[in-house]
Structure 1
Amino acid sequence: MRRPTVDGQFYSKDFEELGNQINDCFTSKFGPGDLPVSKRNKKIFGIVAPHAGYNFSGPCQAWAYKEVAESKFPETYVILGNSHNGESGVLLDDYQTPFGIVKTDRYFCEMLIKNLDFIKDNKFAHKNEHSVEVQLPFLQYVSKDRLKDIKIVPLVLGYDIDKIRQLGIFLGDCERRINIIISGDFTHYGPSYGYVPFVYNVKKELYDLDKTAISFIEKMDVDGFWDYVNEKGATICAAKSIIATMIAAKGYGVKRARLLQYYTSGDVTGDYNNAVGYGSLVFE
C-alpha cells in the first residue's frame, strides 16, 4: 500500500475538509464556477492537470476534472507524473488517500513491464513523489458514482525522449479503454527554479511563453512542441508526459487538445519573482 505523503501539505488530510477544499476549487474565481453535472455523455482521451498545492493550482485542476466527471468512464486511468527525484517506473501497489483506496490495474502495469523493458515496478520512484498522489483525491471526488471501479496505472516518468516516444506508441496501440491524466505544471520561473529568461514584464512574458507551448499541444504538434521546449529551455515539468500522450492520442484518432484554463501562481499570490504556470487541457 502506498500511503499519502503530502496530505496536510498539498491538500487536507481530513476527509470532510478535503471534500470542502475540492468543492471550493470548482467554485473559485479561477475554477470553472460550478460543480460537474452527473451525466457522463462526453468522450475524452485525457487531460493535463497541474500538481501544486490545491490552494494554488486546485481551481485549475478542477477545470480538467469537470471534463473527467462528465465523460464516459474508462477501464483504466493512466496517470503520468514527472519524476522529481530522477527515478522512474510504475507501482503495483494500491494508493491510499484520505478518501480511501485507489486500486492499481496490476494487469496493465505488468503488460507495460513485459512490453517495454525500461519500465519496472519501482517503489522508490513513488515513495515521496507527489505528482501521482495529488491527482487522486480529485479523481475520487468526481467519481463518487464509480469509486469501486476506479483503476489506475501510476507511472512516474524520468525516461529519455526516445523511451517516452516508445511509451506513447504502446499506449496508442493498447486494447484498454484508457484515459490519460497528465500531472504537471507549465513554466517554473524565477531564481528559485534557476530559470530567469526575462526580468521585465514577467507576467506577460510568462503567459506568452506558456501560451505558445500550449498552441503546439492544441495542434497535436509533437515535434513542434518538443523543439520549442528545448529552444526556450522551458521548465515545463509535464513536457515528456505531454509528448507521450500526444503520440498515444493520435493512435486513437484524437486530433486536438483544448485549453480549459491557464493562470500562474503569481496571479494567486501577487508575487511574480518566482512563479509557476498552471494549465488544464483536455484531449478529445
Structure 2
Amino acid sequence: MRNPVVSGAFYPDNAESLKQSIKDCFLSDFGPGKLPEKREKSIKGVIVPHAGYVYSGPCAAYCYKEISESHSPDIFIILGLSHSGFPSCLSLEDWRTPLGTASVDKDFGKLLIENGILQDEQAHANEHSIEVQIPFLQFILKDFKFVPIIVSEDYKQVAGAILKALKQSNKKAVIIASSDFTHYGADYGFAPFTEDIKEKMHKLDAGAIKQIKKLDAKGFLDYIDKTGATICGRYPIACLLECIKPAKAELLKYYTSADISKSDYSVSVGYAAILFS
C-alpha cells in the first residue's frame, strides 16, 4: 500500500476537509465556477498542475470537471515526474488517501512491465506529482482504476509501451499528465528577466502551450531547450503527446501562483489546464 506523503501539506489530511477543499477548487474564482454536471463528453487526456490545492487546485478543477462530465474510461494512466531524479517506472501498489484507497490496475501494469517499463515502488513513495491527482479522481468518481507512471527522458519508449498495452488489453484510457509550468525566481534558479515578470512568464508559457496544442512533443522539448523554461513535467507531457494523437487540444485555464497569492512575481509558478479530445 502506498501511503500519502503530502496530505496535511498540499491538501487536507481529513476526509471532510479534503472534500470541501476540492469543492472550493471547483467553485473558486480561478476555477470553473461550478461543480461537474451530466456525463456526456468524450476525452483522451489532460495536463494538470500538481502544487498545493490552494494554489493549483482551481486550475486542476477545470480538467477534472471535463473528466467527470465524460464517459468513464477503463483506466486512468497518470504520468508524473520524479522530483528526486528517478528513471521511468511504475507502481503496482494501491494508493491510500484521506478519501480511501484507489486501486491500481495490476493486470494492465503487468502488461506495461512486460513491455519494458520498470517497477519501482520506492521511486513513487515520496513523489507528490501523481499523489495530488488521486483525491480529485476520488471526489468525482465512485470507482476507478489507474496506473501511476513516472516518466523521464525515455518518454518515447514509455509511450510505446503504453500504446502496446492498450492494444493488447483492448482498454480505453484517459491519460493525465501532471506538470506545473514555468518556475520563476531565485528559489528555482531561473530569473532571466526582472521587469514585467507576469507578462513575460505568461509569454514564455504561452510559447510552450503553442507547441503542446500542435501535439508536437519534439517541438515542445526543443522550445524548452531554447528558452530554458522550467517546466518540471516536460517528459510526462511529451509522453502524453505521443500517446493521444490524433486529438484536439484546448487550453482551459492558465494563471500563476502569484495571481492566487496576490503577491509580487519574484517567486512564482505557472499552472495550465489543457484538455485533449
Identify the residue that residue 118 of structure 2 maps to in structure 1: 120
Per the normalisation by structure 2, the TM-score is 0.95
Q: Partner letter of residue 179 of structure 1?
A: V
Match of 1:169 among 154, 160, 169: 160
| 1:74 corresponds to 2:67 | no
> Which whole-Å CA distance do the structure 2 matches of 1:216 and 1:101 have between them?
36
Q: Partner letter of residue 130 of structure 2?
A: V
Identify the residue that residue 4 of structure 2 maps to in structure 1: 4
> Which whole-Å CA distance do the structure 2 matches of 1:34 and 1:75 have between them?
26
Match of 1:237 among 232, 241, 250: 232
Number of residue pairs aligned between Structure 1 and Structure 2: 271
Aligned-residue offset at 1:166 = 1.8
- The 8 Å contact of residues 90 and 154 in structure 1, kept in 2 or not, is answered as yes
Aligned-residue offset at 1:220 = 1.1
- The 8 Å contact of residues 172 and 249 in structure 1, kept in 2 or not, is answered as no
3-state SS of 1:277 partner? strand
Provide the alpha-carbon RMSD of the alignment: 1.1
> Which whole-Å CA distance do the structure 2 matches of 1:238 and 1:266 have between them?
20
- The 8 Å contact of residues 11 and 52 in structure 2, kept in 1 or not, is answered as yes
- The 8 Å contact of residues 87 and 124 in structure 1, kept in 2 or not, is answered as no
3-state SS of 1:52 partner? coil
Q: Partner letter of residue 137 of structure 2?
A: L
Identify the residue that residue 267 of structure 1 maps to in structure 2: 259
Percent identity between the two aligned chains: 45
> Which whole-Å CA distance do the structure 1 matches of 2:2 and 2:158 have between them?
24
Aligned-residue offset at 1:234 = 1.3
Residues 37-75 of structure 1 show CA distances to partners (whole Å, capped at 9, x for unaligned) of 0x2211101111100000011000100100100011011
Unaligned runs of 5+ in 2: none
Identify the residue that residue 48 of structure 1 maps to in structure 2: 47
> Which whole-Å CA distance do the structure 2 matches of 1:172 and 1:216 have between them?
22
3-state SS of 2:244 partner? helix
Residues 194-233 of structure 1 show CA distances to partners (whole Å, capped at 9, x for unaligned) of 0111111000000000011101111212222111011111
- 67-76 vs 217-226, which moves further: 217-226
Aligned-residue offset at 1:271 = 2.7
| 1:194 corresponds to 2:194 | no
Identify the residue that residue 247 of structure 1 maps to in structure 2: 242
Unaligned runs of 5+ in 1: none
| 1:278 corresponds to 2:274 | no
